[in-house]
């Protein structure tokens, strides 16, 4: 029977070339657009190297600081100082690892007597390489002792290594950063700016420079962020609880200020929409908005397709009449129409998905770029592994099924309700 449906669906494609083209195009376009939106979202939240543990991560991008006794509406907002990061987050016992790193900034790099060029920096600690799985081509990350002592050692990416020396085997050689000599201890694969927490071109211990001095409000606010890697997602509540305990303790120790986190630590999903330091993002509103967009992108083409499916069925009304008179039940007819359409929808969905991937790979850099990546010296790069997730295909399948149900549900129901005599005499 299923073979019969396939034959019929293919025949229908042939019989009405223009209408088939319109249906396929309409469906493919809708699925393509929806999947582009899904990808735009997933690239920010789904795990891929070197942020393979996004599911287990919590982030604290911003800090809020106000005078003791005042309130959060009259506050200063921005990244935190190294002191705050250490006492409030590095001191956590529950997580697997906690890392402190600076916000995006630039330094001038060169080799002795070489030409200077700008590189994107992250000044961080040894934990960074536990939280993020940067892949080392050569050498290894700096260890805790070097980090705590602020030794001038640097992990650099392949592009910078090549720009400096023309090759990547540069362990033990020198890189000047803002005129200060650093020893290269590791070389890693280039990181896409889309993995923006892990991204940099050069990573050095934050204690090796005077960046810690860029702080204000008695060393409460500064230029640092924190990422926390939990043993598992289930630890999040415990970590939040411990964060709160440390915050209260820290506040007690401060003479003039108090700090607050505005619902942070954020999960990856919330963190990406936490754009401004002085606001708490509303994930629910964001999700509702996304669902509304998906619904509209499905519904509008579905109305089109319904109209066409119905016209097509009207031409086949005698066929339906005959089937019914030979014993097909209403359910059989409905199932037949739905299934025939499903073949068409899957075919178009597949075309849409291929288009979507082609689009994402070709236009990825501009499609996925965002202001959080601003002032960087390299533009976002996209590779196929960043876009391939089981959930992506799951979504595509789900949207195709929904599309099918929406676009042929009513026509199928109507076709199955036609009485046999009407159907046979209609012609």
Partner 1 sequence: MNKILFRQIWNERRSNAWIWLELLLVSVVLWFVVDTSYVTLNTYFEPRGFDISNTYWIRVGTMTPKSPDYIDPSTRNVKAGSDILELLKRLRHFPDVEAVSLSYNSFPYNGSWSGTYAKIDTMGEECRIYKVSPDFLRVFRYHGSNGETPEKLATLLKEGVLIVGENLLTAKYGLKGKDIAGRSVYLSADTTKVWPVVAVTKPVRFNDFVSTYDCRYVMQIYSEASAVNLTENDVRFLELCIRTRPDCPPGFIDRLRNASRSQFTIGNLLFEDVRSLDDIRCMLQLDDMNKLRDQMWGIGFLLFNIFLGLLGTFWFRTQQRRSEMALHVSCGSTRREVFARLIIEGLLLLVSATIIALFIDANIAYAEFIPQMNGSFLTVGRFLITTFITFVLMSLMIVIGIWFPARQAMKIQPAEALREE
> According to the binding rule CB under 8 A, does residue 313 interact with partner 1?
no
DSSP strands (E only) in 180-307: 180-188, 202-205, 224-229, 257-260, 266-267
Identity of the residue, 3 or 179, whose beta carbon is nearer to partner 1 in the bound complex: 179
> According to the binding rule CB under 8 A, does residue 311 interact with partner 1?
yes
Among residues 267, 306, 336, 408, the one that binds partner 1 under rule CB under 8 A: 306
Residue that has been written with the tokens 């994107």 in this structure: 120
What is the enclosing helix (H) or strand (E) of 121?
A: strand 117-124
Identity of the residue, 4 or 311, whose beta carbon is nearer to partner 1 in the bound complex: 311
CA–CA separation, 244 vs 151, rounded Å?
Answer: 33
> According to the binding rule CB under 8 A, does residue 83 interact with partner 1?
no
The pair of structure tokens assigned to 219 is 């060393």
CA–CA separation, 42 vs 95, rounded Å?
Answer: 25
> According to the binding rule CB under 8 A, does residue 218 interact with partner 1?
no
> According to the binding rule CB under 8 A, does residue 299 interact with partner 1?
yes
- Helix, strand or coil for residue 375? coil
Q: Which stretch binds partner 1 (CB under 8 A): 1-9, 20-28, 45-53, 231-239?
A: 20-28
Residues 219-278 that bind partner 1 (CB under 8 A): 275
Total length of the chain: 427
Identity of the residue, 161 or 308, whose beta carbon is nearer to partner 1 in the bound complex: 308
Identity of the residue, 118 or 329, whose beta carbon is nearer to partner 1 in the bound complex: 118
Biggest CA–CA distance in the chain, Å, is 94
> According to the binding rule CB under 8 A, does residue 45 interact with partner 1?
no
> According to the binding rule CB under 8 A, does residue 300 interact with partner 1?
yes
Residues 94-153 that bind partner 1 (CB under 8 A): 105-108, 116, 118, 152
Identity of the residue, 223 or 267, whose beta carbon is nearer to partner 1 in the bound complex: 223
CA–CA separation, 5 vs 281, rounded Å?
Answer: 49
- Helix, strand or coil for residue 156? strand
Q: Which residues contact 154 (CB under 8 A, 6 or more apart)?
A: 175, 177, 182, 183, 184, 185, 202, 203, 204
Size of the site for partner 1 (CB under 8 A): 45
- CA 392 vs CA 36, 46, 403: distances in Å: 10, 10, 16
Minimum CB separation from partner 1 for residue 295, in Å?
10
Q: Cis peptide before 50, with omega less than 30 degrees from 0?
A: yes
Among residues 22, 171, 254, 424, the one that binds partner 1 under rule CB under 8 A: 22
Binding region for partner 1 (CB under 8 A): 18-19, 22-23, 25-26, 29-30, 33, 78, 105-108, 116, 118, 152, 178-181, 208-210, 213-214, 275, 296-297, 299-301, 303-304, 306-308, 310-311, 369-371, 373-375
């Amino acid at each position: 029977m299923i073979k019969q449906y396939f034959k019929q669906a293919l025949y229908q494609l042939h019989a009405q070339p223009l209408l088939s083209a319109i249906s396929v195009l309409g469906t493919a376009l809708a699925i393509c657009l929806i999947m582009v939106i899904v990808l735009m979202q997933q690239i920010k939240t789904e795990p891929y190297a070197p942020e393979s543990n996004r599911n287990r991560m919590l982030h604290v991008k911003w800090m809020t600081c106000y005078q003791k006794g005042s309130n959060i509406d009259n506050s200063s907002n921005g990244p935190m100082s190294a002191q705050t990061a250490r006492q409030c987050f590095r001191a956590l016992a529950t997580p697997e690892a906690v890392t402190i790193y600076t916000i995006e900034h630039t330094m001038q790099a060169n080799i002795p007597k070489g030409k200077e060029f700008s590189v994107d920096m992250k000044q961080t600690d040894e934990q960074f390489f536990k939280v993020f799985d940067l892949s080392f081509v050569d050498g290894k990350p700096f260890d805790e002792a070097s980090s705590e002592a602020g030794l001038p050692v640097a992990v650099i990416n392949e592009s910078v290594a090549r720009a400096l020396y023309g090759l990547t085997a540069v362990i033990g050689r020198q890189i000047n950063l803002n005129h200060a000599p650093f020893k290269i201890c590791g070389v890693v694969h280039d990181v896409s700016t889309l993995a923006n927490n892990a991204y940099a071109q050069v990573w050095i211990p934050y204690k090796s420079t005077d960046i810690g001095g860029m702080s204000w409000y008695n060393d409460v606010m500064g230029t640092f962020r924190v990422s926390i890697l939990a043993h598992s997602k289930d630890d999040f509540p415990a970590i939040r609880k411990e964060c709160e305990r440390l915050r209260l303790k820290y506040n007690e120790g401060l003479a003039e200020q108090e700090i607050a986190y505005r619902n942070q630590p954020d999960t990856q999903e919330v963190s990406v929409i936490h754009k401004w330091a002085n606001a708490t993002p509303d994930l629910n509103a964001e999700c509702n908005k996304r669902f509304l967009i998906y619904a509209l992108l499905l519904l509008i083409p579905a109305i089109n397709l319904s109209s066409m499916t119905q016209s097509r069925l009207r031409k086949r009304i005698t066929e339906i009449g005959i089937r019914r008179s030979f014993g097909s039940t209403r359910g059989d007819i409905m199932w037949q129409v739905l299934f025939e359409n499903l073949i068409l929808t899957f075919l178009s969905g597949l075309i849409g998905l291929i288009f979507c991937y082609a689009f994402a790979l070709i236009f990825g850099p501009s499609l996925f770029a965002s202001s959080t990546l601003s002032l960087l010296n390299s533009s976002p790069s996209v590779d196929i592994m960043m876009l391939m997730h089981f959930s992506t295909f799951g979504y595509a399948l789900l949207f195709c099924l929904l599309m099918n149900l929406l676009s042929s549900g009513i026509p199928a129901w109507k076709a199955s309700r036609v009485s046999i005599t009407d159907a046979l005499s209609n012609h």
